[in-house]
Structure 1
């Protein structure tokens, strides 16, 4: 075959692939906006992605499962999903495509295969939409607002109704808050619209009114005046940390539950996927989503503890600087954090080692921890140096982590990286709180000591863990197929 003929075939294939990808995007969008069925590809979101993004995600998926994941197959399965009656759901098209081509698939017909795989969907409990109030509008608060509004769909899960801020809302402050929501120096532009309604002291986000409320204390607000009832308040201020302080939210009219986006005292500290099922949403009203670092390391530590056993270990987190540090050298309540964040690596403490024990009691007293803040605005790395009980190998560790990333209760939490070139900027915008760097793992010659490198977007990945926990405690989790 001549090189010209071969080249023409390649061009034709690329055109067909891009055309199929366009259909993939349309069906996925229709499923989401018409039926509240969210499609993901091995945990990666596909809504608001372009053609090149979807093609790259399919290439990653094929490399991950070591079997081609074709866009043409994905489209065929999406068509079948669109043709059957399903409740609001979250479905992994990558897993479905992989299973369709597995050796134990006895179906020759795609629609029959999809019906069989999703046969339990209609047994899922019906859900009632939950109003949400963001108490605070900082880094995490704005990311939560973005995610809540971009994933509102038909509004049958979490509905952002209000944001509580300091200072009386006026045209100028509303415009400033709108601008901060529209654009972000780390995470880019918000894929939606944000307008200001000065008369009603509100932001209109994607055409939906979100009230901006000023309050001096949580208990002083009457949310029912805004049509808000039995809401979940997500406190992202960091001001209130213990049970008595957080209980003030429950004294406000219209609030039913509280979720803190920081480590809490005297309240359950939850890492979704690890210990959230230990608490009944019908009986527990106040929760903490722990810290970003705790959410990054706990899923990995659970896998290692359950599979190999942990004798002891040390955690070192190389963490992006935060708003708690100084921009230039100045006085600070903690040693070293007063030095310019953008110019220095700063040794500081982290409570993540002890906090893990709240999610994984078997690790109590087994881990030490410390932190180094470094001059990057986002994207962090946890290094786990562990002495394990059962001997293993590099292939053994990677096989274990890959299995958990592909199936089971931690698929939302663990992303398995195959890249030899991964750096911190690459992981910004990753929804999984734990990104396992399979190419960096070290195993000692005796197989009893391992060093694991866990990347995490300390803002975006953590925000998604907050969202997962919020859905659980609000009882609006849909049928999922991972």
Structure 2
């Protein structure tokens, strides 16, 4: 075959691949909007992805399982899912496709295979949608709002009904709030529409009304005036951090659950995937989603503790600067944080080392921790230096993390990264709170000391953990197949 013939054949194949991807995108959208069935590819989101992004995710999937995952196979499995009568669900089509390739000879076709794998889905009970109020509209609040509105679908799970801010509401304020939601210097433009409704003090997000409420005190608000009942309040102000302060939300009419997006005192601190099942939302009314760093390291520590046991260790987090720091040198209540954030590496403290014990009591008193804020606006790195109770190796640690990212209770939390070229900007936009850098793992010659590198998008990844926990608290978690 000549060079030109080979080239023409390659062009034809790429055209076929892209046509198949367009077909796949339509099936993904139809399943989501018609049946509230969300497809993901090894936990990577597929909704609102373009053709190139879908194909790149398939390349990653093939590397991950060391077996080609073809878009043509994904289309076949997606079509099979579409033919079945399933309840609202979240299904990993990458895992299904991989398993079908392994055992397809046992089934007449893809539909028979998928029906067998998902036969337990119909046992899932019905879901009652939950109203959500965002109390505060800063970095985390806006990302949570984006996620809730992008994933609204048919509205069977969490429904964002209101956002509470302080200060007056007028045309300028509402338009600025809309602009901040619409545009983001780190995470890019919102993949939807945001319009300020001046007359009704609301934002129209993707065609849906979200009321903007101005209030200085939680207990002053009557949410029922806005048709909001039995709501979950997600407090991301940072102003209310303990049981007493957070309980003020429960004095509002129309609220029955509260979720704090920061470490909390006197309330359960939850790392979803690790300890959320220990607290029954029928009994507990106030939850904390802990911190971004705690959510990054705890899933990794859980896997290591279960497999090897941890004698002791140290956490050093190389953290993006935050709004708490000064843009230029100025007075700050904490040492060093007053120095210009975008010009300096700043040593500061983190409570993540001790906070881990709230989710993993077996690590109580075993971890020290510190933090270095660095001149990047987002994207952080946690370095765990662990003395283990039993011996391991680089290969064994990496195999453990890969298995944890592929199956079990931590699949939403741990992403196994294969790239030799990974840098902080590459992980911006990752929905996993823990991105395990398999190429950076170090194990000492005595096989008892392991140094692990965990990347995390301290805004986006954490926001997804908040939403996962919110779904658990609201009891709107769908059937999942991971």
Give the alignment's TM-score, normalised by structure 2. 0.99
Q: CA deviation at 1:115?
A: 0.1
* 2:71 aligned partner: 71
Question: What secondary structure does 1:439 align onto?
Answer: helix
Once the two structures are superposed, residues 80-100 of structure 1 have per-residue CA deviations (whole angstroms, 9 ceiling, x without a partner) of 000111111000000000000
Once the two structures are superposed, residues 366-415 of structure 1 have per-residue CA deviations (whole angstroms, 9 ceiling, x without a partner) of 00000000000000000000000111111101101000000010000000
Once the two structures are superposed, residues 100-138 of structure 1 have per-residue CA deviations (whole angstroms, 9 ceiling, x without a partner) of 011586224110000000001110121100000000000
* 1:176 aligned partner: 176
Once the two structures are superposed, residues 112-165 of structure 1 have per-residue CA deviations (whole angstroms, 9 ceiling, x without a partner) of 000000001110121100000000000000001100101000111000000000
Question: How far apart in 2 are the matches of 1:442 and 1:473?
Answer: 38
Once the two structures are superposed, residues 286-343 of structure 1 have per-residue CA deviations (whole angstroms, 9 ceiling, x without a partner) of 0000000000000000000001111000000000000000000000000000000000
Matches within 5 A, 1:327-346: 327-346=327-346
Note if contact 2:104-2:113 (Cα within 8 Å) is conserved in structure 1: no
Question: How far apart in 2 are the matches of 1:319 and 1:106?
Answer: 49
* 1:259 aligned partner: 259
Question: How far apart in 2 are the matches of 1:4 and 1:178?
Answer: 52
Note if contact 1:261-1:466 (Cα within 8 Å) is conserved in structure 2: yes
* 1:151 aligned partner: 151
Question: How far apart in 2 are the matches of 1:215 and 1:59?
Answer: 49
* 1:297 aligned partner: 297
1:437 aligned onto 2:441: no
* 1:231 aligned partner: 231
Question: How far apart in 2 are the matches of 1:107 and 1:68?
Answer: 20
Once the two structures are superposed, residues 248-271 of structure 1 have per-residue CA deviations (whole angstroms, 9 ceiling, x without a partner) of 000000001000000000000000
What are the ranges of 5 or more consecutive residues in structure 1 without an aligned counterpart? none
1:24 aligned onto 2:24: yes
Question: How far apart in 2 are the matches of 1:104 and 1:180?
Answer: 49
Question: What secondary structure does 2:477 align onto?
Answer: coil
Q: CA RMSD in A?
A: 0.7
Note if contact 1:58-1:70 (Cα within 8 Å) is conserved in structure 2: yes
Matches within 5 A, 1:382-393: 382-393=382-393
* 1:280 aligned partner: 280
Question: How far apart in 1 are the matches of 2:70 and 2:10?
Answer: 16
Question: How far apart in 2 are the matches of 1:192 and 1:212?
Answer: 18
* 1:10 aligned partner: 10
Question: How far apart in 1 are the matches of 2:115 and 2:297?
Answer: 37
1:196 aligned onto 2:196: yes
Note if contact 1:257-1:285 (Cα within 8 Å) is conserved in structure 2: yes
Matches within 5 A, 1:441-480: 441-480=441-480
What are the ranges of 5 or more consecutive residues in structure 2 without an aligned counterpart? none
Give the alignment's TM-score, normalised by structure 1. 0.99
Question: How far apart in 2 are the matches of 1:427 and 1:332?
Answer: 30
Q: CA deviation at 1:168?
A: 1.9
Q: CA deviation at 1:169?
A: 1.1
Question: How far apart in 2 are the matches of 1:73 and 1:306?
Answer: 35
Question: How far apart in 2 are the matches of 1:218 and 1:331?
Answer: 30
Question: How far apart in 2 are the matches of 1:107 and 1:274?
Answer: 35
Note if contact 2:415-2:436 (Cα within 8 Å) is conserved in structure 1: yes
Question: What secondary structure does 1:101 align onto?
Answer: helix
1:49 aligned onto 2:61: no
* 1:161 aligned partner: 161
Question: How far apart in 2 are the matches of 1:363 and 1:162?
Answer: 39
Note if contact 2:104-2:110 (Cα within 8 Å) is conserved in structure 1: no
Question: How far apart in 2 are the matches of 1:105 and 1:410?
Answer: 30
Question: How far apart in 1 are the matches of 2:337 and 2:372?
Answer: 10
1:206 aligned onto 2:206: yes
* 1:318 aligned partner: 318
Note if contact 1:428-1:457 (Cα within 8 Å) is conserved in structure 2: yes
Question: How far apart in 2 are the matches of 1:430 and 1:111?
Answer: 31
Q: Name the count of aligned residue pairs.
A: 482
Once the two structures are superposed, residues 156-197 of structure 1 have per-residue CA deviations (whole angstroms, 9 ceiling, x without a partner) of 100000000011211110000000000000000000001111
